[in-house]
Chains A and B, each alone.
Chain A
Amino acid sequence: MSHIVSPLDSGLQSPQPNTLEPDTLAGRLWAAGELGPIDDLMTAAVSSLKLSDAELADLRLYAEERSWAIQALAEAFQQPEDEPDLYPTIASFWLELRFDWQRHNEVMNYAATRMTPLPRVVGHGAVSSAILGRLEDLLSPQHRDQLSQHAIHLLEGVLPASYHAANSS
């Protein structure tokens, strides 16, 4: 398998890490977005998958993009007075990543039961999961549970009336 991209190979310009205090929420968010640990998790997750070079390159781009997005958010909210606004933004980012991971899972499960499994989607799901795990520590477990439950409930109730009518007929 090809070597996964290192932070130095990334084409995206990272913000300046040294300006962020490591004990602040922004500093911890920055650390969560470091590409090195994400690389390690990704390498371990996709090592058993038979991915083409093009699919691996696509996964690398995806991990880089996510890493950059996390660190760009940390840099934008780096002032102490930004912290009250940063926490709900991390919460919505976490949910965004969760929906991403969930979608890959959904596609993977349907694909596995109906057609040939898609290693490319499995790989994306694994990378999503790794990145999700990095952000998870920044939110309280209680908030994560509440967000997950609410999102599930919201999506359960999202079907229009015409769907219910069709299902009952």
Chain B
Amino acid sequence: MMVSASRLAALVRDPEFADTVLAHGAAAAVSPEDMSRLTAYASRRRSAILDVCDALGAEGDEDDFYRTLAAVWLELRFEWQRYNLVSNYGTVRHGFSSPLPLALASASSALMAQVESLLDDAALARLAEFAAQLIEGTHGLLSSEPAQDPHASGRVCCRAEE
């Protein structure tokens, strides 16, 4: 069965959508100022997803809609991992991390769960494998020696082939 844009739109229009995202901020004990940032983040994400539903929701656009949905999932997956890393490195290096990255990681994760409920399991597995390998630096895409960048310092680290 094809995923309809109206199904996704209904998910993000549900009042529980923003509540779920914001609940993670409350759990992470962010400041009132950061909570307003989180609110703006949830609102922007909601608006972006609804834009996709409106623009690619017509009959005949199903393939492009599905691919865009998959790209949105990847975007959220990278974002979630990035904020987790910022939070973890901050804690390890400085013994403290601002709660905002953790709250944003949780918010990304909550959004990702909504989007992935509409994606096929096999497709999701392929996307997840790619994301994990890229972030861990084990994907072959970063394994070759890069061309010399005149702007790059000599200390840029790439995964050169052994």
Binary per-residue interface labels of chain A (154-169) against chain B in the complex, 1 for a CB within 8 Å, 0 otherwise: 1111111011001100
User: What residue in chain A is nearest B86 (Cβ atoms)?
Assistant: A76
Please measure, in the bound complex, the distance between the C-alpha atom of A93 and the C-alpha atom of B85, giving whole angstroms. 12
Cβ of A30 to closest chain B Cβ, rounded Å: 13
A92 and B126 form a contact (CB under 8 A): no
New A-B contacts (20) at CB < 8 Å, excluding given A92-B81, A158-B123 = A25-B155, A58-B44, A61-B37, A65-B37, A76-B90, A86-B157, A87-B137, A88-B136, A93-B78, A99-B74, A99-B78, A121-B51, A141-B147, A143-B144, A147-B134, A157-B126, A159-B67, A163-B66, A166-B62, A167-B63
Contacts of B68 in A (CB 8 A): 103, 106
Assess A107 versus B44: contact at CB under 8 Å? Given A96-B79, A158-B70: no
Report if A140-B146 is in contact (Cβ < 8 Å); known contacts: A88-B135, A160-B123: yes
How many Å lie between the Cα of A69 and that of B48 in the bound state?
19
A79 at the interface (CB under 8 A from B): yes
Could you tell me which A residues sit within 8 Å of B by CB distance? 11-13, 23-25, 28, 58, 61-62, 65, 69, 72-73, 75-80, 82-89, 91-93, 95-96, 99-100, 102-103, 106-107, 110-111, 114, 118, 121, 124, 137-143, 146-147, 150-151, 154-160, 162-163, 166-167
Query: Can you sample 30 A-B contacts with CB below 8 Å?
Result: A12-B37, A24-B155, A25-B155, A61-B37, A73-B86, A82-B89, A85-B137, A88-B136, A89-B82, A91-B141, A95-B74, A99-B71, A99-B75, A103-B75, A106-B55, A107-B51, A107-B54, A107-B56, A110-B56, A111-B55, A114-B58, A124-B48, A140-B147, A140-B158, A158-B127, A159-B63, A162-B2, A163-B66, A166-B62, A167-B63
- Confirm or deny: B10 has a beta carbon within 8 angstroms of a beta carbon on chain A: no
* B153 smallest CB distance to A (angstroms): 5
The distance from the CB of A52 to the nearest CB of chain B, in whole angstroms, is 14
